[in-house]
Amino acid sequence: MRMHLAAIAAAVALVASPFASAQESKLKVGSKAPEGLAEHLDFVQGEAVSSYAQDKVYVIEFWATWCAPCKRSIPHLTELQRDYGPRGLQIVGISDEPVETVRKFVKEKGSAMDYAVAAQKKDDTHIYQTWMKAAGQNGIPCAFVVSRKGEIVHIGNPLDPNFDRVLKLTLANRYDPELTSRVEPTIAAARAAAKRRNYKEAEGLYAKAIAEGPVTLMDYSFECWRMLGEQASDDAKAKSFITATIDGVKDDRYALIEAATYLASDPSLKKRDLDAAKYAAGKLKAMSGAMQDPDTLAALAAVSAASGDYSGAAEMQYDAWMSAAPTAKPAFKRALEVYETKSKGADAK
């Protein structure tokens, strides 16, 4: 009898073990991105991704040469790679077709498909199994957005309207779907309190939510700051709040760049705090390698321009333009031309 029970237990274990393994391997938002891209793929364009670099955000997109929606997504992905590559974006398109089929297609597309592309190695389904099947995804194109922490923060069609927003926030180290969802009730309560003109309660609720992730939730910091300055007309409180916000993100270059640029140049602001913009700029300057980073230089230029120093803004924007990656140069050049024009106009007066 004992032998019989032992045999049953062993059989159950054999059946349960694969099930448990399948449960553990389920891929979802919040999971660590599976490794092994370079090992299991043949890269036909771009450098092979052997591991996830901490300074990069990855889009791992599954596609096929025969897929019409995939073909429609290619120009958009190319545009995103060109625009955001200098900020750390790395797109990798993966097909399960034969490598020669993929190589021929990519060659024919030329510069219209300007990001890394790979095909699964022959008879090697590891990548499909650990990404698409593990995530329960059956349709293509399907894109996985991987944060700088190596975590999957979004799974979906790259043509969906929300995809670009998620990607931009992820590049700014400010996208955490679980955290955002968790603080939504508190933020809703803060907005309700502000509508009732109970600004003290509103500020407390905003602060409670923001404390859970000052960098990720920085938009809510800006929202609270504007409430204090524009609705409550409490400039002292607003200044204290925005200074604390900048201190809370002082170690994150991307957050400081956004804060300095927003405070200096966002057209929607009714009240601008140039002192706060300069404070954020000072924190940026203090970071190692700041004056060699084009995005940092552009943010500093925006602060100078907001202060009326268009000549200084033009000089910094010129340095930003010169140090920018080739694909990013046009955007930097446009801002430079604006500053140069305003500088000449100021000199002529």
Q: For every one of its 349 residues, what pLDDT tens digit does the chain have, with 9 covering 90 and above? A: 343 434 434 443 434 444 444 444 699 999 999 999 999 999 999 999 999 998 899 999 999 999 999 999 999 999 999 888 888 999 999 999 999 999 999 999 999 999 999 999 999 999 999 999 999 999 999 999 999 999 999 999 999 988 998 999 999 888 888 898 999 999 999 999 999 999 999 999 999 999 999 999 999 999 999 999 999 999 999 999 999 999 999 999 889 999 999 999 999 998 889 999 999 999 999 999 888 999 999 999 999 999 999 999 999 999 999 998 887 888 899 999 999 999 988 776 6
pLDDT at 177: 87
Work out the number of other CB atoms within 10 angstroms of the CB of residue 223.
Answer: 18
In total, how many domains does the chain have? 2
C-alpha 94, offset from chain centre: 21
* 9 located within any domain: no
E strand residue ranges, 66-150 = 89-95, 116-120, 142-146
Q: Are 175 and 148 in contact (CB under 8 A)?
A: no
* 91 located within any domain: yes
Query: Do residues 84 and 160 both lie within one domain?
Result: yes
Query: Do residues 164 and 290 both lie within one domain?
Result: no
- The last residue of a domain, from among 140, 171, 202: 171
* 11 located within any domain: no
* 7 located within any domain: no
In terms of residue numbers, what domain contains 133? Answer: 28-171
Query: Do residues 163 and 188 both lie within one domain?
Result: no
Residue 210's CATH number: 1.25.40
Phi, psi of 129 (to 5 degrees): -65, -45
* 274 located within any domain: yes
The CA distances from residue 33 to 133, 283, 332, in Å, are 14, 32, 33
pLDDT at 348: 65
- The last residue of a domain, from among 127, 154, 171: 171
The CA distances from residue 75 to 79, 105, 109, 111, 310, in Å, are 6, 14, 10, 10, 36
* 18 located within any domain: no
Nearest Cα residue to 180 out of 171, 192, 188: 188
Work out the number of other CB atoms within 10 angstroms of the CB of residue 66.
Answer: 12
* 21 located within any domain: no
Global pTM exceeds 0.85 = no
Query: Do residues 264 and 344 both lie within one domain?
Result: yes
* 19 located within any domain: no
Query: Do residues 187 and 260 both lie within one domain?
Result: yes
Q: Which residues are 156's β-sheet partners? A: 143
Tokens of 307: 């202060």
Cα separation, 325 vs 187, whole angstroms: 39
Query: Do residues 118 and 206 both lie within one domain?
Result: no
Query: Do residues 102 and 201 both lie within one domain?
Result: no
Nearest Cα residue to 169 out of 154, 156, 184: 154
- The last residue of a domain, from among 117, 150, 171: 171
Give me Rg for the CA atoms of the chain.
25
Query: Do residues 187 and 328 both lie within one domain?
Result: yes
Residue 263 C-beta-side C-alpha neighbours within 13 Å: 31
Query: Do residues 301 and 337 both lie within one domain?
Result: yes
Residue 122's CATH number: 3.40.30.10
Work out the number of other CB atoms within 10 angstroms of the CB of residue 321.
Answer: 22
Query: Do residues 224 and 288 both lie within one domain?
Result: yes
Query: Do residues 220 and 114 both lie within one domain?
Result: no
Query: Do residues 181 and 309 both lie within one domain?
Result: yes
